[in-house]
Structure 1
Amino acid sequence: MTTPTPTIAVRLFAGAAAAFGADAATVPARTLEELVAALTADGSAEAARVIGRSSFLVNAVARPDLSHPLADGDRVDVLPPFAGG
């Protein structure tokens, strides 16, 4: 039996929101890596670049490991590099 893919609420900030074209999204993802792939699959090259360099908070906790698992009800904040970082 296959477990359904969790639905994740995403908030994008600053340059990530500008490049993505929205400040919020809902995507199916089991890991942060899948979430990044879902956000960048149909987006622009700029969105892929900015989101790919961003930091991620899962339920307000920094998660640098893209293999971090996600569950239904999780909220992920996408924080782009600031001040040229």
Structure 2
Amino acid sequence: MVEIRYFAAMAEAVGKDREDLDFPPGATVADLRSMLTSLYGAEFEKRLAVCAFVVADELTRDSGTPLSPRVDVLPPFAGG
């Protein structure tokens, strides 16, 4: 079980700020993207393409990064 936390526009897009999803051992960010696209559709996939992920307390965009027990999905942020 992986806790997925959504922030800002991504939370608005899915209508919640978190959910728990099942993944097999060794699943990666690419697997997460695939599952989220199957759950939320092609339009959501376009949003994911510009997102970063926090996995094991590290910011990444690498699709090969193995998932940790909690993953944050972060849209691009503007401002200073």
TM-score, structure 2 as length reference: 0.79
Q: 1:81 is matched with which residue? A: 76
Q: 2:12 is matched with which residue? A: 18
**Partner AA of 1:48 in structure 2:** E
**Partner AA of 1:68 in structure 2:** T
Identify unmatched segments of 5+ residues in structure 2. none
Larger Rg over CA atoms: 1
Report the identity percentage: 36
TM-score, structure 1 as length reference: 0.75
Which ranges of 4 or more aligned residues in structure 1 deviate by more than 3 Å?
none
Alignment of 1:37-52 (within 5 A): 37-52=34-49
Q: Is 2:34 the counterpart of 1:34?
A: no
CA RMSD of superposed structures (Å): 1.9
